[in-house]
Amino acid sequence: MARWVSDVGPETVIAEMIPYLERDFARWERFDKSPRTASHTPFGVIELMPTSDYEQYAFKYVNGHPSNPAKGFQTVTAFGALSDVSNGYPILVSEMTLLTALRTAATSAMVARRLARPDSRVMAMIGTGSQAEFQALGMRAALGIRALQIWDTDPAAMEKFSRNLEPLGFEIRHASSNADAADGADVITTCTADKALARVLQNDMVQPGTHINAIGGDCPGKTELDPQLLRNSTVFVEYPPQTRVEGEIQQMPSDFDVVEFWKVIAGEAAGRRSPQEITLFDSVGFAIEDFSALRFLADQVAGTEYEADIDLVAEPDDPKDLFGMLGSYVPVR
């Protein structure tokens, strides 16, 4: 995966993945959907994310352990599979740690293209960990944004971010606080990891007309935004039954008004309605995005050196004689 992304270029991968996402969001109602299955522990969460369009089926296994980096592990890792619904056989098994970062960035970019002001020039990036560079590349692909104002409680994470992105032509200002990062930003991406009802973005830090791309609040008891900000914004979500449990809107009443983003893509709901409106993408990550990413990947790597055959399915000559495959088995007396 790393070799493929590096050879093609992450910004190109993100840009070329967007049409796959748009195509699947446009036919959202065709998919078999359910909130992801989450196994919570004091350490973090492990989640399974399945979906199907009745031709192909996909699932992702993903963890979220905010305390992992302090122990030398990543907060998020993932792998997943795509299979053929007609016979249930797997088509592709893939690493999805990198692919998740790319698909999350591509999803943010697809959304920002409809919700951010087209004249957006500056993005605040609050949280500069693993996902952050991908988010910046996604916003450049979507909106042409090159000016970034960044803030992280870990100065080393900010240094790492600049080291990775300055050579790619970004102008990066290291802010002195979350408020300083948000000051004058057209788009604000929050991308922190903390298993807490955190407030990395307060209502009074946000100017009219801003688009907020809220990535990090994606688990019960794990949010990033001041609830007043949700009341002052038009809130767009992926799949309400999942987002009401996991997203920023877990802080709001169960009938809090949201727009399902697929409706914007399908032409059934408006995106941004005025230059003054505050739009907010309450992203938690939904299975259809991983389905789109796996389909994109499968198309891109088919027949190339980036894929390899693995012998994953036992295939007896007689489909009923699985035991017969153990031909040399001699019972021990």
Q: Which residues are identified as catalytic?
A: 218
* Residues sharing a CB contact under 8 Å with residue 172, sequence separation 6 or more, in sequence order: 148, 149, 150, 161, 162, 165, 166
* CB 144 within 8 Å of CB 118: no
Q: Residues 94, 126: contact at Cβ < 8 Å?
A: no
Q: Which is nearer to ligand NAD, 118 or 291 (CB)?
A: 291
> Per rule CB under 6 A, is residue 129 in the interface with ligand NAD?
yes
Contact (CB, 8 A) for 237 and 212: no
- Each residue 292-331 as x (binds ligand NAD by CB under 6 A) or -, in order, gives ----------------------------------------
CB of 149 to ligand NAD, least distance (A): 13
126 binds ligand NAD (CB under 6 A): yes
**With binding defined as CB under 6 A, does residue 285 bind ligand NAD?**
yes
Residue of 162, 166, 163, 190 whose CA lies nearest to 284: 190
Round to whole Å and give the CA distance between 211 and 280: 6
User: Does the protein bind ligand NAD through residue 157 (CB under 6 A)?
Assistant: yes
Q: What are the C-alpha distances in Å from 71 to residues 39, 127, 238, 297, 318?
A: 21, 18, 32, 31, 49
Q: Does 283 bind ligand NAD (CB under 6 A)?
A: yes
Q: List, in sequence order, every residue forming a beta bridge with 52; answer none if it has no partner.
A: 32, 57
For residue 133, give both structure tokens: 């560079």
List 7, 32, 154, 159, residue binding ligand NAD (CB under 6 A): 154
The residue from 44, 50, 216, 271 that contacts ligand NAD (CB under 6 A) is 216
Q: Which helix (H) or strand (E) holds 301?
A: helix 287-301
Containing 214, the helix (H) or strand (E) segment is strand 211-214
Structure tokens at 66: 């905010």
Instruction: Give me the residue whose beta carbon is nearest to ligand NAD.
Output: 129
Question: Which of 52, 56, 77, 104 forms a contact with ligand NAD (CB under 6 A)?
Answer: 104
Cβ at position 2, least distance to ligand NAD in Å:
16
Stretch that binds ligand NAD, among 1-9, 117-125, 149-157, 318-326 (CB under 6 A): 149-157
Q: Which of residues 223-282 bind ligand NAD (CB under 6 A)?
A: none
Ramachandran region of residue 166, left (φ > 0), alpha (ψ -120 to 50) or beta? alpha
CB of 104 to ligand NAD, least distance (A): 4
Residues near ligand NAD (CB under 6 A) are 64, 69, 75-76, 100, 104, 126-132, 151-154, 157, 178, 191-194, 198, 200, 215-216, 218, 283-285
